[in-house]
Chain A
Amino acid sequence: ILNVEQSPQSLHVQEGDSTNFTCSFPSSNFYALHWYRWETAKSPEALFVMTLNGDEKKKGRISATLNTKEGYSYLYIKGSQPEDSATYLCAFASYNTDKLIFGTGTRLQVFP
């Protein structure tokens, strides 16, 4: 059974703080690792799709790294803002299957 785990489950930070979350996934048969942001009352929105070991991607204040050999990815948010408040989901895709396996998410709340 493929398992994707995210930690922490929830996080409360002050505006301006930097923060990071972890996504752990199976290290075998790796194909891709996706990060999504899901704001309340909206649809999940893709942040990054990462495929190469050592990959680093950045979008504004948000960046992500990938280690496929040990099976983890980090998502960083620099200088958190209240509008960053959302649930951040990661999803793993393997060569064995076309389906994405999602983690349960990290719920981030940024207080002004």
Chain B
Amino acid sequence: KAGVTQTPRYLIKTRGQQVTLSCSPISGHRSVSWYQQTPGQGLQFLFEYFSETQRNKGNFPGRFSGRQFSNSRSEMNVSTLELGDSALYLCASSLNRDEQYFGPGTRLTVT
């Protein structure tokens, strides 16, 4: 069974730009969660999608948004990038509330 894939793996953007990250879950998994990891911080929950609906949302500004498609693939969008958005963005898929299977992450650098 193929694992969770994320694209792109690395990305460099400038302040003010927007970015879209993609996540393809394990086949059969309908839940996709997104996390942000910055140095010194734990994994900060962004949002979770289940069957194309946002089921949960973390404490991030509205510049962070996401969506999920009918094939369970999910995208995360960050608009008006700030330097502080530089981070590793991980997505994870799961069957309901079971253990999560993480992708390799997208390393975003904002300059």
A→B interface (CB under 8 Å): 4, 31-32, 34, 36, 42-46, 49, 89, 91, 93, 97-105
Q: Within the complex, which residue of A36, A46, A49, A99 is in contact with B58, where a contact is CB–CB below 8 Å?
A: A99
| Centre residue among B55, B56, B92, B99 by max chain A CB count within 10 A | B99
By DSSP majority rule, is chain B's interface helix, strand, loop, or mixed? Answer: loop
Q: Is B45 an interface residue (CB 8 A)?
A: yes
Minimum CB–CB distance from A27 to chain B (whole Å) comes to 19
- Chain B residues contacting A100 (CB-CB under 8 Å) are 33, 45, 100
- Chain A residues contacting B103 (CB-CB under 8 Å) are 43
Minimum CB–CB distance from B69 to chain A (whole Å) comes to 20
0 or 1 for each of B57-101: is its CB under 8 Å from A? (1 = yes)? 010000000000000000000000000000000101000011111
How many chain B residues touch the partner (CB < 8 A)? 25
Cβ-closest 6 pairs across A and B: A46-B99, A104-B42, A43-B102, A102-B43, A102-B42, A99-B56
B→A interface (CB under 8 Å): 3-4, 33, 35, 40-45, 48, 55-56, 58, 90, 92, 97-105
Minimum CB–CB distance from A110 to chain B (whole Å) comes to 22
Once the chains are docked, how many angstroms separate the CA of A18 from the CA of B4?
Answer: 33
Minimum CB–CB distance from B92 to chain A (whole Å) comes to 8
Once the chains are docked, how many angstroms separate the CA of A2 from the CA of B92?
Answer: 21
Minimum CB–CB distance from B59 to chain A (whole Å) comes to 9
Q: Quick one: closest B residue to A38, CB to CB?
A: B102
Q: Quick one: closest A residue to B31, CB to CB?
A: A98
Minimum CB–CB distance from B29 to chain A (whole Å) comes to 13
